[in-house]
Amino acid sequence: MQLTFEVIAETLRERIRSGGLRPGDALPTQAVLMREFGAASLTVQKAMALLKQDGWAVSRPGKGAFVAQSDDADDLDGPEATAPVGGTTARVEALELALAEAVQQIADLRGRVEVLEAGSGGPGR
């Protein structure tokens, strides 16, 4: 069974393969995907990171995520459809997102520890 972020990524890949989304088209926003799939923000971010990592999407700072361009944009349903087109840039973006997620998780855990320590009177009390 696929995880939700994998379902979101595969759904978007299918939209690209079918021509519903063409190279250069804006991908649905995070808010739209959250509503469509009933998913959390982090889940949608993971799906987008996967698409970028695999070369299906690229980010344009301040503008959003877009279907990646390919040298042969008319043949997105052939064997090349699974080949990355974003290369190093997509991998760097995916790693940056993964790092940001890890930093956020650490901050969340620190907050939980502070709440627990405050509730018990702090360490050693």
Q: Where are the domains of the chain?
A: 4-119
| CA 82 from centre of chain | 17
CATH number for domain 4-119, candidates 1.10.10.10, 3.40.50.620, 3.40.50.720, 2.40.10.220: 1.10.10.10
Amino acid at 55: G
At 102 the pLDDT is: 80
| Residue 9 backbone dihedrals phi, psi, to 5 degrees | -60, -45
The residue ranges of the chain whose pLDDT is under 70 are 71-91, 93-94, 121-125
At 72 the pLDDT is: 36
At 105 the pLDDT is: 84
Residue pLDDT, tens place only, 14-34:
999 999 999 999 999 999 999
Beta bridge partners of 58: 66
| Residue 12 backbone dihedrals phi, psi, to 5 degrees | -70, -40
